[in-house]
Structure 1
């Protein structure tokens, strides 16, 4: 009861503008229909599976670029303006994508879809950091993850129903929900940093400050390692489950278990984690992710696969909200967009490298691959802890 009351109090203390941001994020994420069904849409139009897969890869490349550009725009023109621009541009691209028939045009537009649809993310995270005091950011970022997971689950089910009637409806609904979020950001959410450039903003290359922050750079390397490992749950883990003789439905159930646990437990868990030092909690989360994926190496029976998912999900719930808050706390206010963009970039790079490198290593040595994943995540945990030592050493030299 104490934990439940604490969570309710933490959520009630979040400012109204944060709840408006959550509402807009839910609407946009709920309506992210097109990418969920893009491969099915293209194959039904006569394109090969390889061509459809290439379109998804182009979307991923656009998403990587979006992290950089979105972070830059966030700090230069403001958080809400970046969200509005991203959402309106995304709506235009989605409608255009529904009208083209040639593969080159589809590839160009899917890359633009990745760029425009994902450019809002650094702005959204920076805006949340602006709106919420430091002591409440772990809860705020956990709430944001809850919204994203719940909206995606509900949206995927709704998209399936719409697709039975018309794939064009998916594009229209996707565009419409983007416009709603863009209007909400433009009209209802006050951006305290809009139109107030600082001297640092006008300096030579804002990302230079991010790159020269050695403590944060070490954190990004750690995050890249763990993101590579975690994203195997959507690629090589499915191959492992099928290789053990289980059906696709079993794999889907295991992934659904991960999402269900996050929706049910991550927010309550923040009542415990938000008052603790971030780096040890993040490192513990990284280590549990590594242990969970290492268990897959010996998980020849379904109960052990379930155990593996449970372990890495606990690790994810520990590190993800805390990492979001850590990035927000680490960044100067005028560089929050770029810091968030750099953090998002690690996930984009992992999304590109993960399937290619992961499947190659899995084909080389299936059991050994999961132990490699455990080692990489453990290295990530060590780097996070070492970044704390580096910060202390820098502070001592500065004094």
Structure 2
């Protein structure tokens, strides 16, 4: 059985180019983490800032479907480049918006255009590597993204202390850089040649795929839990008597654990069936958040962060490889888009559901997280691949 290091060494050069581009882009995600602060300092209310952030989430939802369709029709490379160049332009336009309607429009555009690349990048990675390399490849891709995210906010904070415009300029510059990398150094990947095909044909094929639909339901049950980390979790930490800096430290712990341990977990996980790993990871995520309700000091809260982070590290590198194995080649981009759409739904619904439950009864919120986590784990385990897909994602194939 090849080791993780052997699988990584065997990855083709374009895969490493994609990892580098993803790192640059994620490192430069300067604006969105600071958008609420930027808007409130410009005199907008928190509710108005929430409208702008919600507009980004709505754009993200559209990007998931549009990105998958474009990836299959015009090619992965062209879709990534289009998204990144468009993201740079809309980010600079957002920096000049002064009224709430314009800010909401351009924030929506940033989400709708700047996130189109995600299904294309995931589909391209699936195109580039052999089935036995998929988990290693998707694990490395996620490592590059998280490494960029770990380094980016500190740089963004440094820039924001000098000028908020530098945040927009830096974000746009890194998007433009990724666009150039994609256009000049990445291959097209697979493209559908059926230009007369009905636009809804891929969706019909996906919805008839019981394994894929079951997996989407499992993911949807988990994503709303995951987005409690930036909605109700900080409220719980504040209620326990700690400052925002404590919350920031705990979230940094999440990133530090991922950078330090995720590739080791990928190496360990290659011997197991993907749906088992996804089920285990989804379950740990739900239980980890559920235990937040019992954690009232920083050590206990930190322990819950460690638990759900290890859950995340178990399922995250496997899910992209799992979807790649399920998808027919001609629909790979659109399968990725539908999968990422469940994340967009979680981004939109998770904070809203969490806030409503938190306001009504905080204990009920954490119990719901636990129950939903167990349900998502059960559905994920039930998502047995078809015979041909199972062959592509078997433990032997995964190396």
Question: What TM-score, normalized to structure 2?
Answer: 0.93
In the alignment, structure 1 residue 49 sits paired with structure 2 residue 46: yes
Q: Quote the Cα distance in structure 1 between the aligned partners of 2:361 and 2:284.
A: 22
Bigger Cα displacement from structure 2, 91-100 vs 65-74: 91-100
Q: Quote the Cα distance in structure 2 between the aligned partners of 1:246 and 1:203.
A: 51
In the alignment, structure 1 residue 139 sits paired with structure 2 residue 128: no
In the alignment, structure 1 residue 233 sits paired with structure 2 residue 229: yes
Q: Secondary structure at the match of 1:193?
A: coil
Q: Is the 8 A contact 1:72 1:338 kept in 2?
A: yes
> Shift in Å at residue 210 of structure 1?
1.5
In the alignment, structure 1 residue 205 sits paired with structure 2 residue 201: yes
Q: Quote the Cα distance in structure 2 between the aligned partners of 1:134 and 1:198.
A: 25
| Paired position in structure 2 for 1:164 | 161
Q: Secondary structure at the match of 1:98?
A: helix
> Shift in Å at residue 271 of structure 1?
0.9
Q: 1:12 aligns with which of 9, 14, 21?
A: 9
Bigger Cα displacement from structure 2, 74-83 vs 131-140: 131-140
Aligned length: 389
Q: Quote the Cα distance in structure 1 between the aligned partners of 2:141 and 2:245.
A: 28
Change (3 A) 1:148 1:204: closer
In the alignment, structure 1 residue 357 sits paired with structure 2 residue 353: yes
> Shift in Å at residue 301 of structure 1?
2.9
- Give the unaligned 5+ runs of structure 2: 391-399
> Shift in Å at residue 203 of structure 1?
6.5
In the alignment, structure 1 residue 294 sits paired with structure 2 residue 290: yes
Q: Secondary structure at the match of 1:183?
A: helix
Q: Secondary structure at the match of 1:165?
A: coil
> Shift in Å at residue 201 of structure 1?
5.2
Q: Quote the Cα distance in structure 1 between the aligned partners of 2:154 and 2:138.
A: 25
| Paired position in structure 2 for 1:221 | 217
Q: Quote the Cα distance in structure 2 between the aligned partners of 1:10 and 1:287.
A: 28
> Shift in Å at residue 206 of structure 1?
2.1
State the Cα RMSD in Å. Answer: 2.0
Q: Quote the Cα distance in structure 1 between the aligned partners of 2:355 and 2:100.
A: 26
Q: 2:278 aligns with which of 277, 282, 286?
A: 282
Residue-by-residue CA offset, 1:273-327 (whole Å, 9 max, x unaligned): 1232111111111111122122112122333222211211111111111111101
Q: Quote the Cα distance in structure 2 between the aligned partners of 1:51 and 1:95.
A: 21
Change (3 A) 1:360 1:20: same
Change (3 A) 1:201 1:8: farther
| Paired position in structure 2 for 1:59 | 56
Residue-by-residue CA offset, 1:217-257 (whole Å, 9 max, x unaligned): 11101101111111112211111111112222222222111
Q: Secondary structure at the match of 1:47?
A: coil
Q: 1:380 aligns with which of 369, 376, 382?
A: 376
